[in-house]
Amino acid sequence: MEEKPQKEWHSISSSDTLNALGAKETGLTADEAAKRLEKFGKNELATEEKSSLLSILASQFANVLIIVLIVSATISLILGKQVESISIFVIVVLAAILGTLQEYQAGKALEALRKMASPSATVLRNGQTIEVPSSELVPGDIAIITYGNKVPADIRLIESNNLQVEEAALTGESLPVEKFTQAIEGDSIPLGDRKNLLFMGTSVSNGRGKGVVVGTGANTEFGKIATMLQNTKTEQTPLQKNLDKLGSNIGIIAIVIALVLSAFSYFINGGTILDAFIWAVALAVAIIPEALPAVVTIGLALGVQRMVKRRALIRKLPAVETLGAVNVVCTDKTGTLTKDEMTIRKVYADATTFDVDGSGYSPEGNIILNGHKVKHGAANPCLIKVLTYGVLCSDAELKLTDEGWDILGDPTEGAIVTTAQKAKIDTEAIKKENPRVDEIPFTSDKKYMATAHSTSGGRMVVLKGAFEVVMGKCSMVEAPNGAQPLTTEVESSINSTVAGFAANALRVIAVAYKMIDEQEQLTDDALTNMILAGFVAMIDPPREEVKPAIATCKKAGIRTIMITGDHKATAFAIAKELKIAHDESQVFSGSDVEKMSQSELDIAVNKASVFARIAPEHKLRIVESLMKQGNIAAMTGDGVNDAPALKKANIGVAMGITGTDVSKEAADMILTDDNFVTIVAAVEEGRTIFENIKKFLIFLLSGNAGTVFAIILAFVFGLALPLTPVQILFINFIMDGLIAIAISLEPSEGGIMHRKPRTVSEGIITRMGLLRIMSLGMAIALVTFAVYYASVTIFELQPLQAQTLFFLTLIFARLFNSLNNRSLNTSAFKSRLLGNIPLVISSIVGIAIVWATTKIGVLQTAFGNVDISINGWLVAIGAGSLVLLFGEVFKLISKDKI
């Protein structure tokens, strides 16, 4: 196989291109594709190098304080304090390993998510149309490209049907470029003029096409431009940025506190300057919440994985935090609130309304007139015409699967094909007899599609779309003895029939036709003076699970606004059923929006529950208006033209099943089941993640504050320095490492969807949060200090015994504090102890090690601990438990929720 012909791909014919690539129009075989994948590599642009475990481990030591600690411990080792110094090394290494595992896991979780969100492409392999991950495309593959696709590789076109592509990403040209298949003369012409080629990274804004892949990965035009390499750097979320800032502020405070306290200790308790210095560094290390970024990333990434299980795919990590603050959800109707299972219930033709029975896409069913089945062969010719023309202007096909009848293609069109088969029309035969020669594809903007057919009577155009749009292009109406003028009387009778259908939540699709000259081009402008063949009215029932989800949103302080391309009356009927709207004054239409000034729209969006007959550009205006007024808005969309609104919204939500690549790429989140309920589930997860981060932050900061306050109290009361560096580092390892992670895994606190959304401007630590950190810190310090003070002054214990008791009490106080912080606003006694197994295990491991450090000789030396009687243990546990009690009382008396 020749990899590149002498000439450029655009300058040779498509068949020469196929030959040059050893390809066939029916596609490569699976074996050949596998071989080529091996040879040419994946169809990917260079991505950021993945960090290895070792490099992550090394980065754990790239911290000034850790380096200072290691250097000082080494000096101390040389000076003979082996056991302590080695213990410091051990703890530092253990902490680094834990940090590495955390970071590695977070990285892997993010990588897995990235893979899941990666696009797929439609190709022909062995003559079969299949979907493959875009990364597996190879030169010679036959790719099928349709409206809304992101072009997955460089492709030489073999077929083009009204194909238009936006190439701004590559050429800067903002207008869509029309593509064709003929060879173009001249070798070095600009990319923008190579109109028989599709380029990776551009997007299809109209039509469809088929072509052979000529370049993949770095061999594409897109791949050649280094500056356009995908930005695969993991973006830091605002929360991560804030916490980084918080971390560095705490860092400075920590160093100051540590230096001051160690100076005190040096003057009061004596010892060497090196000892005081090591102590200071250990304390600084302990106060600084160095685990914060990794724990936040893990919290976010694990939350994102939980969301995947609930069918929401997060594309941009910052979305996770924003999700929890969403207070308005603007949602599509069809397929998101409803099942997108269209079933035609009525057909209108020849001034008569026929009923249709049967269910789903099964062609078994009947056309019924006045309660009687219409017999095969006796059907009204106008009825046959509207259904036949409807089928000609549709692409959907029925197929019998193991689960019953289903459709391939658009549900609205599937419903038409199903009904035609119920009327015993041979849908395949009529398509063959009247081949399609041209088409204008359906778009949400236009709300119609049109096709041209070569029929025995000449060239015919069929138009199918939203009732009032099609009606606006008709001047005649079909009748048994030929087309009749559409008089005002006929029109108003038809309009009232349609209004009745729409009020019953039926979607009305009209079909019109006309004959044209053989040479006449099919253009939008040519769609005038059409003949209305009739219309069909279909039901699309709401999804059962949506109604409760909307009620949940209400309780959670989230407004739901339905934004749909459907008719006002149809939309209102469904909104009423779902309890989104109760009054017609809450319904606005696209034409209303069009007429509104910005300030009128600002008022309308606050009142609206339904926007009907909306075009994608209205969505952008609506979301802008909502956001301008301080709302945090989620907005769903599926079409190419929805992309700007999805990009603009705080949370852009694309549909996984029906959505175009372009909408998916613009979105922050993709619903893999297209279901509204999934948005609500994602919001709940978003709130839980944010709350869990808050929980461990309060746990961590209150615990560290408690440790420092306790040491200060000891100094103030003239007692000996209570903690050794090893003890400090050990507490840090257990609490900031193991327990903090366990808290971030806490399941959702009940009632999270019964509260109002949080205010974004408020930040993660509110004034109330700060108050809780400080008071819990004081509680920890007071109980620990009280035990220490009593053991020195009342029970007159040996200094080492008193210091070990201080250590034990501090450990227990902080462990009890973790129980307290498992829930922020509800009682800790309500959460099941075994509801967080990692917390139970980490606590048991922590206590077991502490026990060992009071029993085993070498550990005793390392930690500076002595054996403690059972009474001592009971005192430590009892005193520590007071922190839990204190925290609970605090929750009870504070009115403000955190």
Active site residues: 332
- Nearer residue to ligand ATP within complex by CB, 60 or 564: 564
Only segment of 209-217, 330-338, 495-503, 623-631 that touches ligand ATP (CB under 6 A): 330-338
Only segment of 220-228, 560-568, 712-720, 771-779 that touches ligand ATP (CB under 6 A): 560-568
- Nearer residue to ligand ATP within complex by CB, 159 or 410: 410
- Nearer residue to ligand ATP within complex by CB, 334 or 823: 334
DSSP lists the bridge partners of residue 633 as 328
Q: Is 10 exposed, middle or buried (0-12, 13-18, 19+ CB in 10 A)?
A: buried
**Per CB under 6 A, 564 contacts ligand ATP:** yes
State the minimum distance, in angstroms, from the CB of residue 659 to ligand ATP: 11
Spell out the alpha helix ranges (H) of 226-288.
238-269, 273-287
Q: Are 814 and 698 in contact (CB under 8 A)?
A: no
Only segment of 8-16, 98-106, 187-195, 327-335 that touches ligand ATP (CB under 6 A): 327-335
Distant-in-sequence, close-in-space partners of 378: CB < 8 Å, separation ≥ 6? none
State the minimum distance, in angstroms, from the CB of residue 507 to ligand ATP: 6
The owner of tokens 């791949």 is 223
Residue 612, H or E segment: strand 610-612
Q: Residue-wise over 557-581: b if at least 16 C-beta within 10 A, else e?
A: ebbbbbbbbbbbbbbbbbbbbbebb
State the minimum distance, in angstroms, from the CB of residue 210 to ligand ATP: 21
- Nearer residue to ligand ATP within complex by CB, 538 or 714: 538
Residue facing ligand ATP at closest CB distance: 565
**Residue type (1 letter), 862:** A
- Structure-derived torsion over alpha carbons of residues 167, 171, 173, 178, reported in degrees to the nearest 10: -50
Distant-in-sequence, close-in-space partners of 43: CB < 8 Å, separation ≥ 6? 134, 135, 136, 137, 138, 152, 153, 216, 217
**Per CB under 6 A, 533 contacts ligand ATP:** no
> Residue 516 corresponds to which tokens in the numbers above?
């044209």
Only segment of 445-453, 575-583, 715-723, 849-857 that touches ligand ATP (CB under 6 A): 445-453
State the minimum distance, in angstroms, from the CB of residue 139 to ligand ATP: 35
Among 17, 102, 149, 444, binds ligand ATP (CB under 6 A): 444
Among 361, 389, 442, 535, binds ligand ATP (CB under 6 A): 442
Among 276, 319, 509, 573, binds ligand ATP (CB under 6 A): 509
In whole angstroms, what is the distance from residue 324 CA to residue 687 CA?
Answer: 4
Relative to beta strand 142-146, strand 203-215 is: antiparallel
Residue 127 CB neighbour total at 10 angstroms? 11
Only segment of 173-181, 345-353, 367-375, 463-471 that touches ligand ATP (CB under 6 A): 463-471
Residues 331-370 that bind ligand ATP (CB under 6 A): 332-334
- Nearer residue to ligand ATP within complex by CB, 250 or 538: 538
Please work out the total of residues on this chain that contact ligand ATP, with binding judged by CB under 6 A. 19
Site string for ligand ATP, 464-503 (x = CB under 6 A): xxx-------------------------------------
Strands in 559-563's sheet, in edge-to-edge order, are: 312-314, 669-671, 651-655, 633-637, 328-331, 559-563, 610-612, 587-589
Query: Which DSSP string corresponds to 677-691?
Result: HHHHHHHHHHHHHHH
- Nearer residue to ligand ATP within complex by CB, 334 or 707: 334
Site string for ligand ATP, 375-414 (x = CB under 6 A): -----------------------------------x-xx-
- Nearer residue to ligand ATP within complex by CB, 156 or 431: 431
State the minimum distance, in angstroms, from the CB of residue 614 to ligand ATP: 7
611: left (phi over 0), alpha (psi -120 to 50) or beta: beta
Strand residues in 299-376 grouped as ranges (E): 312-314, 328-331, 343-349, 352-356, 367-369, 372-373
Q: Are 187 and 174 in contact (CB under 8 A)?
A: no
Only segment of 47-55, 200-208, 230-238, 563-571 that touches ligand ATP (CB under 6 A): 563-571
- Nearer residue to ligand ATP within complex by CB, 408 or 844: 408
**Per CB under 6 A, 565 contacts ligand ATP:** yes
In whole angstroms, what is the distance from residue 369 CA to residue 691 CA?
Answer: 60
Name the residues that contact ligand ATP, by CB under 6 A: 332-334, 410, 412-413, 442, 444, 447-449, 464-466, 507, 509, 564-566
